[in-house]
Amino acid sequence: MARSTRLIRLTAATTILATGLLAAACGGSDDSGSSGGSGGDRPRVGLVQINQQAIFFNEMNAGAQQAAKEANVDLTIFNANDDPAKQNEAVDNFVQQQFDAVIVVAIDVEGIKPAVKIAKDAGLKVVAVDAIVDSPAVDTQVGVDNAAAAQQAGDFVNKWAQAQGLTAPKIGVVGALNSFIQNIRKDDFNKTVEGAGAKIVQTVDGQNKQEAAMTAAENLLTSRSDMNIVYATGEPALLGTVAAVKSQNAGDQVKVFGWDLTKEAINGIDEGFVAGVVQQDPKTEGYEAVKEAKALIGGAQAKKKIDVPVTIVTKDNVDPYRATFK
């Protein structure tokens, strides 16, 4: 194989790959991750992931691994470490290794299109998760309707503001302007709250990194002492915002709304300054993606779209999530 110098073989039911590496998935495993065998005639599915720092993506991987075990699928997970070029390269390598299907959690929904077209043309089944890849090469899209969920978050904030007697709340946004999905969450949220009389006073870029988001949120809190609300569009943004509110002792100044629970976000709920978190179900997203890939490989008709609903977590319904994020 021309690419053999860049390959490693690991003994695990699911091979998880670092940036720049690709491996052949191997046989069944126990809880320790050890195994023997080469997978035999089991279908081979490659999952191209964004990173493995965020809990969200690790939960998605866990769901995918569970489905692979149940469906007798060889699953290989590639960690692109936030590099869209590495995602394209990974898809190409899965094609070269004659995988049966590829699942893509795209960083750049436009930039990934040539790679998924090549995969489709080569006979692979293609499933997109989370980020919407609008391409005829994608058989099925799995995940949250981010526009609808952002509107749901906006409606929740509108009702909260009304209950507090805030007729024209001032809202700051901590976004990730390099993320297609998070820009949808920002834009549709903004439209919803502005339609009810709120004002978006400033948007800062957390770059989808916790440290950058914390710095951006601290600057936002310092420069806009008139804010009532901060809205964070993803896990790193919310983590950074929670840390900034605590470091600035701003819990009495603003209430925080955002996406994706963490231990820190739950602590913020308990302390009273985090008022609501849009919680996705990434484990189900990963699970459904692998099951759909297996079905497509077996000749099933594509479902085209598999919606996974969200829940807005508050102090009233947070308890069931504590065990996951302890």
Helix (H, G, I), strand (E, B) or coil at 212: helix
Q: What is the pLDDT along the chain (326 residues), one digit of tens a residue?
A: 333 322 222 323 455 565 444 443 433 333 323 222 345 689 999 999 999 988 899 999 999 999 999 999 999 999 999 999 999 999 999 999 999 999 999 999 999 999 999 999 999 999 999 999 999 999 999 999 999 999 999 999 999 999 999 999 999 999 999 898 899 999 999 999 999 999 999 999 999 999 999 999 999 999 999 999 999 999 999 999 999 999 999 999 999 999 999 999 999 999 999 999 999 999 999 999 999 999 999 999 999 999 999 999 999 999 999 998 98
- The fold of the 4-142+282-307 domain, in CATH, is Rossmann fold (3.40.50)
Of the CA atoms within 13 Å of residue 74, those in its CB half-sphere come to 21
Residue 16: per-residue pLDDT: 56
pLDDT at residue 224, rounded to an integer: 96
Strand arrangement, sheet containing 199-205: 199-205, 170-175, 229-232, 255-259, 274-279, 311-313
Which among 21, 57, 39 is positioned nearest to 100, based on CA atoms? 39
Query: Rounded CA gap, 84 and 106, in Å?
Result: 8
| Domains 4-142+282-307 and 146-279 fall in the same CATH topology | yes
What is d(CA 237, CA 121) in angstroms, rounded to the nearest whole number?
A: 37
The Cα 241–Cα 275 span in angstroms is 13
Domain ranges of the chain: 4-142+282-307, 146-279
Residue 127 is predicted with a pLDDT of 98
Using alpha carbons, select from 114, 153, 155 the residue that is nearest to residue 232: 153
What is the pLDDT, as a whole number, of residue 180?
86
**CATH architecture designation of domain 146-279:** 3-Layer(aba) Sandwich (3.40)
pLDDT of residue 184: 96
DSSP result, 160-172: HHHHTT-SS-EEE
Nearest C-alpha neighbor of 84 from the set 177, 6, 179: 179
pLDDT of residue 17: 60
d(CA 195, CA 189): 10
**Which DSSP string corresponds to 170-193?**
EEEEEE-TT-HHHHHHHHHHHHHH
